[in-house]
């Protein structure tokens, strides 16, 4: 699991693993920032951690190669980007292709990149949300898997909207990971598939009845 900050989605995974909603073990929490608050959270939970500072490397590719060298020996079944604020190159993506997930705080394909909540407000959107997607070399452009939507309310600012969206992130991200680890979710050259059925271009719409429960 890769983080850059406080790791709120990481915490959601820790809780899901502990209470039986996700039959998985987090083998490593890896950050590009030594001051990432999530590292302390992970250590407090008894998880192994590592830090590789991106500023110590001359290029994105060199940094990504160091990430691969740290992570690959652990042979992860799935790599989770949980607020990892670095653009990854094919040097990292290719070794983990098809088992690399990210969550983005917008209703992709709308608003790839940063400042998603303010952009949704500026556009007058009635809905915002989050999308779990497979990672490909295109920034925030990998096939969507699962999407949660929240209404934009009168008086919302970027912070209030973000607070509602992140609660949905904590629901949908472990659920998508469970689908993958159960062998139900796959990525092929033709796109993302769940139970052998191609997932729609905007991902599967999350419903409260889909919420993760113990296996």
Query: Which residues have C-beta within 8 Å of that of residue 23, sequence separation ≥ 6?
Result: 17, 178, 181, 215
Q: Is 195 left (phi over 0), alpha (psi -120 to 50) or beta?
A: left
Cα–Cα distance, 178 to 201 (Å, whole number): 20
Query: Strand 185-188 vs strand 191-194: parallel, antiparallel, or unpaired?
Result: antiparallel
d(CA 126, CA 17): 34
> How many angstroms separate the Cα of 124 from the Cα of each of 32, 83, 148, 153, 157?
35, 26, 18, 11, 12
104 in catalytic set? yes
Q: Verify cis geometry, omega within 30 degrees of 0, for the bond prior to 109.
A: yes
Catalytic site residue from 104, 117, 133, 170: 104
Residues catalogued as catalytic? 104
């Amino acid at each position: 699991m890769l983080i850059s900050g406080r790791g709120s989605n990481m915490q959601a995974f820790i809780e899901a693993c502990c209470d039986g909603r996700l039959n998985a073990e987090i083998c490593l929490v890896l950050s590009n920032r030594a001051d990432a608050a999530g590292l302390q959270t992970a250590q407090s939970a008894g998880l192994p951690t590592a830090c590789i500072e991106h500023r110590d490397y001359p290029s994105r590719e060199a940094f990504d190669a160091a990430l691969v060298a740290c992570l690959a020996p652990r042979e992860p079944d799935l790599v989770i980007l949980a607020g990892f604020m670095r653009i990854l190159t094919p040097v990292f993506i290719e070794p983990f292709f098809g088992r690399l997930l990210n969550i983005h705080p917008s209703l992709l394909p709308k608003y790839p990149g940063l400042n998603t909540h303010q952009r949704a407000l500026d556009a007058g959107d009635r809905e915002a949300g989050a999308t779990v997607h497979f990672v490909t070399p295109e920034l925030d452009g990998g096939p969507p898997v699962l999407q949660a939507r929240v209404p934009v309310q009168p008086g919302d600012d970027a912070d209030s909207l973000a607070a509602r969206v992140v609660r949905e992130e904590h629901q949908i991200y472990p659920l998508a990971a469970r689908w993958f680890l159960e062998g139900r979710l796959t990525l092929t050259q033709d796109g993302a598939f769940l139970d052998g059925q191609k997932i729609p271009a905007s991902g599967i719409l999350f419903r409260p009845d889909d919420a993760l429960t113990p296996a």
